[in-house]
Amino acid sequence: MTLVQLIVGLIIIGVGLWAINTMIPMNAGIKKILNIVVIIVAVGFALSFFGIIFPGQRVFVLR
């Protein structure tokens, strides 16, 4: 996985979260939980890229 793939993946995650937050009406509690889950996944994606978590393994692979 290259740095470009990491950046593109994070941009896609961010645009998707923005689109869900602005275009889909939902309860504030559900929206908050969704935001937290997406942020945790994005942080895990970035940490696994740098080998901080799951060293030597590719948990999130973009191909």
Domain boundaries, the chain: 3-49
The better pLDDT of the pair 7, 45 is held by 7
**Phi/psi at 2 (5° precision):** -100, 170
pLDDT tens by residue, 14-33: 999 999 999 999 999 999 99
- CA 5/CA 25 separation, integer angstroms: 31
* Mean pLDDT of all residues in 47-54: 80
Burial of residue 49, with CB atoms counted within 10 A of its CB: 0-12 exposed, 13-18 middle, 19 or more buried: buried
The better pLDDT of the pair 26, 53 is held by 26
Residue 63's pLDDT is what?
A: 56
- CA 8/CA 54 separation, integer angstroms: 21
Residue 62's pLDDT is what?
A: 57
